[in-house]
Amino acid sequence: MSDFFKLDRNIQLRIVMMFITIAIGSSVGPNMTIYYVDYFGPLVTGILLVAVQVAGFVAGLYGGHLADNWGRKRVMIGGITTMTVGYILAAAMNSPLYINPYLTFFGFLMATLGISFASPAEEAMMIDVSTLQNRKFIYAMIYWVINLAVMIGAALGGWFFKTARFELLLGTALGALLSLVIVVLWITETFPASKRTVHGQSVWSVVKSYREVFADKRYLKFMIAAIGATVIFSSPDYYLAAHLGQSFNNTTIFGVPIFGQRMLSVITVTNTLMIVLLMGTMTKLFQKWSNMKATAVGTAMQGAGFALSFLLNDFWPLFL
């Protein structure tokens, strides 16, 4: 922990913001799939979720381009403001007095666009103020914080989304607002004007900028593999949530009723708890493995585990 306090203040604040953003996203994100299926049906839900991901992808590309034009802080403020407004709208549309699933979807679309738009600037800021010596420590801590946030968020969402949805969404909006306050008041610009590019802000300028990136064949192969891996990593948030919401056989474990949303929470908490507790041990056990071997074996195991999860309907097989 002492190493954390030696880091640049922007990195410390960014890690705090990441914890808040991931926790609030994990508390409502997966459960929103079940929410949409209830109101729109599985086919329309699938189309909507694809549209959200495509929109987020485009927003991320544009945010990355502008981060080199405008600087990091300005892009972060724009993205996190959009995220905050989206979460506030979603909370307002699920009050005890009024529920509107269409505006709820629009609110979460705004939140996704805001997060995606700000993300490249946030990542670039981490590179700006880190060094080759402390970068591995920083990203190891980020990975640990992400999993801790997912565990807490999933636990809150699984237990309270169905019974206290408005209060949970209200807490999500307040968390987003706190992140915005941190950026506006305490984050400082890390990319000086002298280093900024002179590319335009049009869509065509973005295309020309990324054309240079895609010319790197090694990076292009890495990106394609990363997309494939992301398909696996994102499945619990989307298909698994819908599967459990519709097909899970409700049960009672140690006197606690477990239904689909809570089972999703149990799975997520179990996985992330193991990561939080065992990450250091596993790293030491396999430190002699090459990055290629470790990535291939780990991705294969995770893919197989998720595939089984999509077929099973009962508590103990899913838990195992």
- The per-residue pLDDT for range 249-259, each reduced to its tens digit, is 999 988 888 88
The structural domain count of the chain equals 1
Q: Residue 149: inside a domain, yes or no?
A: yes
CA–CA separation, 295 and 184 (whole Å): 38
Task: Indicate the pTM of the whole model.
Answer: 0.76
Q: Which residues make Cβ contacts (< 8 Å) with residue 41, sequence separation at least 6?
A: none
Q: Residue 22: inside a domain, yes or no?
A: yes
- Tokens representing 196 are 């900024």
Angle formed at CA 45 by CA 43 and CA 51, multiple of 5 degrees = 110
Residue carrying structure tokens 């880190």: 130
Give 237's DSSP letter: G
- Look at residue 153 and tell me whether its pLDDT is greater than 70: yes
Which of 39-43, 156-160, 238-242, 262-266 is most confident? 39-43
pLDDT attached to residue 114: 95
pLDDT attached to residue 198: 63
- Tokens representing 248 are 């899970």
Q: Residue 107: inside a domain, yes or no?
A: yes
List pLDDT tens digits, range 62-116. Answer: 888 888 888 899 999 999 999 999 999 999 999 999 999 999 999 999 999 999 9
pLDDT attached to residue 206: 66
Q: 238 and 290 in contact (C-beta within 8 Å)?
A: no
Burial class, 174, CB count within 10 angstroms (exposed 0-12 / middle 13-18 / buried 19+): middle
Q: What is the mean pLDDT of residues 224-251?
A: 79
Q: Residue 198: inside a domain, yes or no?
A: no
Angle formed at CA 138 by CA 134 and CA 141, multiple of 5 degrees = 140
In terms of DSSP bridges, do strands 94-95 and 98-99 run parallel, antiparallel, or are they unpaired? antiparallel
CA–CA separation, 60 and 64 (whole Å): 6
pLDDT attached to residue 196: 66
- Look at residue 184 and tell me whether its pLDDT is greater than 90: yes
pLDDT bin (cut points 50, 70, 90) of residue 201 is low
18: domain range?
2-193+203-319
In terms of DSSP bridges, do strands 251-253 and 98-99 run parallel, antiparallel, or are they unpaired? unpaired
CA–CA separation, 170 and 156 (whole Å): 13
Q: Residue 234: inside a domain, yes or no?
A: yes
Q: Residue 87: inside a domain, yes or no?
A: yes
- The rounded mean pLDDT for the chain is 85
Residue carrying structure tokens 């030696």: 6
pLDDT attached to residue 237: 65
Q: Residue 69: inside a domain, yes or no?
A: yes
pLDDT bin (cut points 50, 70, 90) of residue 49 is confident
Q: What is the mean pLDDT of residues 182-205?
A: 76
CATH number, position 42: 1.20.1250.20
CA–CA separation, 31 and 172 (whole Å): 13
| Closest residue by Cα to residue 263 from 306, 316, 303, 311 | 316
